[in-house]
Amino acid sequence: MSVEITTFDGLRVTMHTRKNGKENLAWFSAAFDPALVYEDTKPEKTETGSEAQDADEQTGLKATDAVKQEAETLNTRWQGWVYVVPQYRVDSVAKKKSDLIKFSKRQDSGKTAGS
């Protein structure tokens, strides 16, 4: 099983798991994916230098180079490590979106507004 977490600034972290006897093993990887970077849909003039940095600060997103460096740092830290993860943790990250979202059933009384 694999679980991916993505961020608006393009970071993709993947947790891979595998069962080994009774143990759940997990290892991680990170990558930069430019397709994930949030783009503001407002048309703006092209910015360079400190203006571009100010724009990054306004959106709260890291610069592309910073995200690439973060992915490299995480991969270096995780390289060669395999973690033993308890079953309840694997179960919690393996849930489907539909299991995490509770839809309430709308109960209409048959009355219309103003009656």
Dihedral (CA of 5, 96, 79, 84) sign? positive
Digit-coded pLDDT (tens) for 24-48? 999 999 999 999 998 865 555 555 6
Reference 44, options 32, 29, 54; nearest CA is: 54
Query: What band does 94 get if pLDDT is binned at 50, 70 and 90?
Result: confident
Query: What band does 89 get if pLDDT is binned at 50, 70 and 90?
Result: very high
Phi, psi of 103 (to 5 degrees): -95, 130
Dihedral (CA of 57, 60, 65, 71) sign? positive
Count the alpha carbons within 13 Å of 22 in the hemisphere toward its beta carbon.
Answer: 0
Listed by start position, the domains of the chain span 2-96
Residue 16 CA to chain centroid, in angstroms?
A: 15
Beta strands in the chain (DSSP E): 2-6, 11-20, 23-32, 83-85
Supply the pLDDT for residue 45: 54
| Gap between the Cα atoms of 91 and 114, Å rounded | 48
